[in-house]
Structure 1
Amino acid sequence: MNGVLKGKLLENAMLVEQAASNSKEQFANSPDLNKALIDAIMETLEAHQIMSHQALNSARVRSGLKEILLEPAQLYEALRERSAPL
């Protein structure tokens, strides 16, 4: 599920811009990241229904997902790479 969520978040132009303009700590505290995470979870709901329900119903699970996305999955770094000019 994390790979799917990361892929959806990488498509978010606003997150790309925020990752390019802010420190990792500022980015992690962005309300836009929280909203985008919920939106991505909802989009994957059908494919991952049980896990998605757990994530949507638990701030703790969402916090864990965000931590995984920011650290081992390196979402912030991947978004910053997308903001770099070609």
Structure 2
Amino acid sequence: MRVKQPIIAKLNERFGDTYGTDVVAGAMSNIVVNLAHHQGLAEQAVANTPQQFAESPTLGKVFMDVLMDVREQTPLLVDDIFHDPALLAELSKALPAMLYEHFSGAK
């Protein structure tokens, strides 16, 4: 599963000069790959509508767990994402749609 370009562009716009575009893209890819391999999320996507999936408490918890795992590799970048509520909210909206599309295509 690939990260959609608007998300990468937004993150690079905000953090690319600080961390480098490859670091930003790598961190996002790591987050998305970890989410895409989560069996519980896959099952929820199959059983729910896109909106129900996006509102799943499990998705929010898994997303935060994955962010914390990625934080071990890129702590400053992840901390900066956490400290930008608008950007974190944007990611929290875009990632569920991408994941739902991925899981739905995998049926």
| Counterparts of 1:2 and 1:20, CA distance in 2 | 24
Quote the residue 2:101 is aligned against.
Answer: 77
| Counterparts of 1:68 and 1:55, CA distance in 2 | 14
Report if aligned partners of 2:46, 2:104 keep a CA contact under 8 Å in 1. yes
Quote the residue 1:68 is aligned against.
Answer: 94
Quote the residue 2:15 is aligned against.
Answer: none
Question: Which aligned pairs between 1:5-84 and structure 2 lie closer than 5 A?
Answer: 5-57=31-83, 59-71=85-97, 74-82=98-106, 84=107
Higher relative contact order (CA 8 A, sep 6+): 1
**Structure 1 residue 80, shift from structure 2 partner:** 2.4
What is the number of residues matched between the two proteins?
81
- Could you tell me which amino acid in structure 2 is paired with residue 10 of structure 1? A
Stretches of structure 2 lacking an aligned partner (at least 5 in a row): 1-26
TM-score (norm 2): 0.64
Structure with max Cα Rg = 2
Stretches of structure 1 lacking an aligned partner (at least 5 in a row): none
Listed one character per residue, the Cα deviations across residues 27-65 of structure 1 (whole Å, up to 9, x for unaligned) are 110000000000110111122211211334565443221
Q: Quick check: which one's helix share is greater?
A: 2
Q: Which ranges of 4 or more aligned residues in structure 1 deviate by more than 6 Å?
A: none
TM-align CA RMSD: 1.9
